[in-house]
Amino acid sequence: MFDQAVMMSHIVFGVFGILFAVALYMDVSNASETNLRRIKVLSWLVAVCVMLSYIVGGYWYVQYYGEHRNIIKAGQWPWAHTYFMEVKEHLFFIMLILSIYLPVAVHGGGLLAGRKARRLTQGVCLLIVLLGLFMEFSGGIIGKSITMALLRR
């Protein structure tokens, strides 16, 4: 039960990270004195959610994934581990770096003064969203591969 709770919180933090990045993208489009504080808060929320997803997911990966990996590799979709999990676990570092960078870009980027500065923040948000969607897609395939393998037994 504990390992399932850990896994679910990894997914939930990841989804919230993506949603906050979408909200931040939209807010930066209309950056003004009125919403600047919210923009800063959103940038921190993206960073915190992705970091928590990394810590919780990393804990689950190190503690529990070994057993799941053996089931996947013996099942019908062994490539769910050899491709999707391998790619996911290494692409995650890119998403993590971009998420940590986001508050730095927002706080020092002069959002109200220039179009390029707004584009930088929006570009980073977009990269986080795209990477996040790939994480969710890969996670779905990995989860399904375990179901497929167990059904076959």
Q: Is 105 in the site for another protein (CB under 8 A)?
A: yes
SS3 of the chain = CHHHHHHHHHHHHHHHHHHHHHHHHHHHHCCCCCCHHHHHHHHHHHHHHHHHHHHHHHHHHHHHHHHHHHHHHHCCCCHHHHHHHHHHHHHHHHHHHHHHHHHHHHHHCCCCCCHHHHHHHHHHHHHHHHHHHHHHHHHHHHHHHHHHHHHHC
Subset of residues 34 to 63 that bind another protein, contact rule: CB under 8 A: 54, 58, 61-62
Nearest approach in angstroms of CB 32 to another protein is 15
Q: Is 100 in the site for another protein (CB under 8 A)?
A: yes
Binder of another protein out of 131, 142, 146, 149 (CB under 8 A):
131
Binder of another protein out of 5, 26, 74, 113 (CB under 8 A):
113
- Interface with another protein by CB under 8 A: which residues? 54, 58, 61-62, 77-79, 82-83, 86-87, 89-91, 93-94, 96-98, 100-101, 104-105, 107-110, 113-117, 119-120, 123-124, 127, 131
